[in-house]
Every structure is written in structure tokens, then in C-alpha cells.
Amino acid sequence: MNSDHPFLPYGRQSIDDADVDAVAAVLRSDWLTTGPAVDELEAAFATATGAPHAVCCANGTAALHMAYHALGIGPGDNVVVPSVTFLATASTAHLLGAGIVFADVDPDTALMTADTLETALGRAEGGAAAVAPVHLAGQMADMDAIGAVARRAGASIVEDACHAIGGRDGAGRPVGSTATGDLMTFSLHPVKTIAAGEGGIVTTADEALAERMRLFRNHGMSRTDFTATDQAFAADGDANPWYYEMTEPALNYRLSDIHAALAASQLARLPDFVERRRALVARYDAALASLPAHVSAVVRPSGRSGYGAPSWHLYVVLIDFETLGRERAEVMNALRSRGIGSQVHYLPLHRQPFFRQCYGAVDLPGADAWYARALSLPLFVDMQDADVDRVVETLHDICEGR
């Protein structure tokens, strides 16, 4: 470990005094669980994204579960997800009883494309109830092209935007506006662009879907529209003050006011976060481009989708480990020993033993090609320009066998 420099993780939160004050204010208030701070976060998120409804929940996994559930996804349905994503994009649909159809991705961006979706739909026996593109690393999949294919197939669209808060779609609308999908899900995990500790949000333009998600996050408890009128009402016709009905079995996916206050404070910093992350990415790109030709032939930035404006969550390089003559684990360990964290996003889901057991082997060459080369380098708001230079110099040294 190089003790001259602090360790650089691949991602981390940025917390300032305003964030701390926002949380402290909640701790001094009457509410800790879902209360006024959640209402304020939902209103602020709807304003920031232009979405008609924003529904907060416990984390990004809960957001996906709520979104699929709101659409009525269940046994007999297929959901198409790109193979390169975090487990939750698929596991939450699987938990509801749906079949998962893995779509291939562009080998250089790891994004689903209209072509890979089309091919996956061809494998979806009985069609697909939903398609769930993932805006990996913070750049959007081409939702104009994907949306057209999904609509033609009669599938709803759940966009997993857990990496992409702060970006813009092809028409310049904020990610989350719901102009490109029926539901868009976000994670507020600390490595993501805005942190709540744990937290999630779903946006939608559909009031009925929003209401279904609000019920699902709170045990299915309804205090209106009672069906058992014999129990619900007092003799004077007023609803009994203690009374509620369970519309269906559901979960406790509520976000606490403590987390919501932190997320709202972070949301106010989002434009600065996006700008800083873009500047760091530009510095990485320039530093990698200036490496000697024999090094940049084996290490290069991941591809750019060219759709919309990214809000970078990850900085991924593609390394030709075979030509380099070193294994990825060796490179990661060498980086770590010099104070630099890295990560792989992700082991494609079609390679997960669980899904292999469910669906057998699937041939997805784009996902496999991405997986063979991808390495996420440190990217977080409080990184200094010199940190980027150090990461690239260290990677250069390792590639040269130094």
C-alpha cells in the first residue's frame, strides 16, 4: 500500500455540512420514519425530473420490485433484462414469478440495443410483459429505438435508471421524466450519484401505478375505499378511526425521514455532482488517450452510446487482458496494493449459477465480450484531478510490468 496517498475506492459518497445539518434536523423533529421529509423528497424529485409522480422506497431493489408489481407482473409473464446489470433488475421480477429473458448488450457500452432486444423478444415464448433496459454506468440506452421495439411487442417499459440520475434523454429531458418508459427506478445507495445511505425512488406518469406502489410499500394498508362496511364504519356513518384494510399482502418498503432528508440535501447538489463527474471522465479520457500507442491498444475507455447526455456513475475501461498477458485479478490486486480500488460491473446474469440452472446456457457474445474486458476505476465527486492522473499512471506502470 502506498501510504503517501489515501486509498481511492471505485466509488463513494460526498457528504457536506448541509447534508449533516439536514439529517440532524430530522433527528430533532417528531418524525423518524416516513413523514414530511419523504413528502418533500418526492416533490423535489418530481420537480427535478419532470415526472408527474415520484414514489420513495427503501432501496433500488425495492423500487424495481414495486415497479414490476405495479404492472401486475407475475407467473406466466416474461421480463426482458440486459444480461449486464446488477442482480436486482432480474431477481425482483423472478420473485414475482416471472420468467427472465436475458438480452445481449453492445460489447463496448454494455447497453441493451433495439437489435439485442429484438433478438431477445424472439426467444420470449408467449411474448414479454415488460422490458427493463438498464442505463449502465450513467449513460442511457437508446430509448427511442428500444421504446419503439418494446411498444410494438406490447411490453411495458421499466427503466432501471439506478446509475443514471442527473442525465438527459435524446430529447434533452431529465432521466426520470417518464417520457421514455412507464416506470423509472433509482437507487440512493452511497456509491450512486446521490446518497441516502439506503433508498430508492420510482417515477411514473400513471397515477394508478403510483398508488399501487404506495400501497405495496406499506403492507397494502388502505384507509379509504373500504369493502367491509360492517366493520369500517361507526353507527354515525363515520369511518372508525383505527380501521384499515389490507388490499393485498405486501411489504414494508418505506423510506425513513432520516434517509429522505439526506437524499433531498444531496439532490440539491446534483447539478454540481454531474458536472464534476463529467470533468473527471474527460480527464480520464484525455489521460488514457495520451498513453503510448502499445498501451492504449490494450486499455481504452468503454464505448459511448451517443444517446442523450450521460451522468457518469462509473468509469469503465476495457482491457484486453489476453494481449496484456495478465489476468484481471492480477491487475486489480496490483492496483489495490498501490492504493487504488477497482471493481467489475458486472458478472453477466446469464452466467450466474442460479439463472443458469433456471434457463440453461444462453449465448450472449456481447455481454461476454464486455465481461472479459471491463474494469471500473475510481470515480467519485471528491476525487482530485491528481487522483485521476495517479490512477492512469499506475495502470500504465502495471501494464508495462513495473
Ligand X SMILES: Cc1ncc(COP(=O)(O)O)c(C=O)c1O
Any contact of residue 139 with ligand X (CB under 6 A)?
Answer: no
Any contact of residue 131 with ligand X (CB under 6 A)?
Answer: no
Cis peptide before 346, with omega less than 30 degrees from 0? yes
Q: Closest distance between ligand X and the C-beta of residue 243, in Å?
A: 33
Which cell numbers in the block locate residue 156?
411495458
Question: Judged by CB, which is closer to ligand X: 45, or 321?
Answer: 45
Question: Of the candidates 286, 213, 277, which has an alpha carbon nearest to the alpha carbon of residue 251?
Answer: 213
Q: Closest distance between ligand X and the C-beta of residue 5, in Å?
A: 27
Q: Specify the stretch interacting with ligand X by CB under 6 A; choose among 22-30, 56-64, 274-282, 370-378.
A: 56-64
What are the start-end ranges of the H helices in 2-112?
Answer: 17-27, 36-49, 60-70, 88-95
Residue in 192, 217, 283, 350 annotated catalytic = 192
Q: Which of residues 84-123 bind ligand X (CB under 6 A)?
A: 85-86, 88-89
Q: Which of 78, 91, 109, 187 contacts ligand X by CB under 6 A?
A: 187
Q: Specify the stretch interacting with ligand X by CB under 6 A; choose among 156-164, 266-274, 327-335, 383-391.
A: 156-164
Q: Which runs of E-coded beta strand occur in 254-353?
A: 299-301, 315-319
DSSP, res 343? B
CA–CA separation, 257 vs 274, rounded Å?
25
CA–CA separation, 313 vs 166, rounded Å?
10
Q: Which of residues 58-87 bind ligand X (CB under 6 A)?
A: 59-61, 85-86
DSSP, res 136? G
Q: Which of 104, 106, 108, 160 contacts ligand X by CB under 6 A?
A: 160
At a CB cut-off of 8 Å and minimum separation 6, what does 39 contact?
Answer: none
Q: Closest distance between ligand X and the C-beta of residue 246, in Å?
A: 25
Q: Specify the stretch interacting with ligand X by CB under 6 A; choose among 155-163, 176-184, 281-289, 375-383.
A: 155-163
Q: Closest distance between ligand X and the C-beta of residue 320, in Å?
A: 25
Is 260 known to be catalytic? no
Question: Judged by CB, which is closer to ligand X: 255, or 288?
Answer: 255
Question: Judged by CB, which is closer to ligand X: 162, or 377?
Answer: 162
Q: Which of residues 218-257 bind ligand X (CB under 6 A)?
A: none
CA–CA separation, 169 vs 173, rounded Å?
5
Q: Closest distance between ligand X and the C-beta of residue 160, in Å?
A: 5
Q: Closest distance between ligand X and the C-beta of residue 104, in Å?
A: 17
At a CB cut-off of 8 Å and minimum separation 6, what does 300 contact?
Answer: 288, 317, 318
CA–CA separation, 42 vs 57, rounded Å?
10
Any contact of residue 202 with ligand X (CB under 6 A)?
Answer: no
Q: Which of residues 367-396 bind ligand X (CB under 6 A)?
A: none
Q: Specify the stretch interacting with ligand X by CB under 6 A; choose among 138-146, 157-165, 217-225, 359-367.
A: 157-165
Bridge partner list, 201: 56, 186
Question: Judged by CB, which is closer to ligand X: 146, or 162?
Answer: 162
Residue nearest to ligand X (CB): 60
Q: Closest distance between ligand X and the C-beta of residue 82, in Å?
A: 10
Which cell numbers in the block locate residue 313?
456513475
Q: Is 110 within 8 Å of 302 (Cβ atoms)?
A: yes
Question: Of the candidates 204, 200, 188, 194, which has an alpha carbon nearest to the alpha carbon of residue 166?
Answer: 194
Q: Which of residues 162-181 bind ligand X (CB under 6 A)?
A: 162-163
Question: Judged by CB, which is closer to ligand X: 192, or 276?
Answer: 192
Bridge partner list, 54: 203
Q: Is 58 within 8 Å of 255 (Cβ atoms)?
A: yes
Angle of helix 328-337 versus helix 385-399 axis, rounded to 10: 130
Q: Is 62 within 8 Å of 84 (Cβ atoms)?
A: no
User: Which residues are identified as catalytic?
Assistant: 192
Site residues, ligand X (CB under 6 A):
59-61, 85-86, 88-89, 134, 160, 162-163, 187, 189, 200
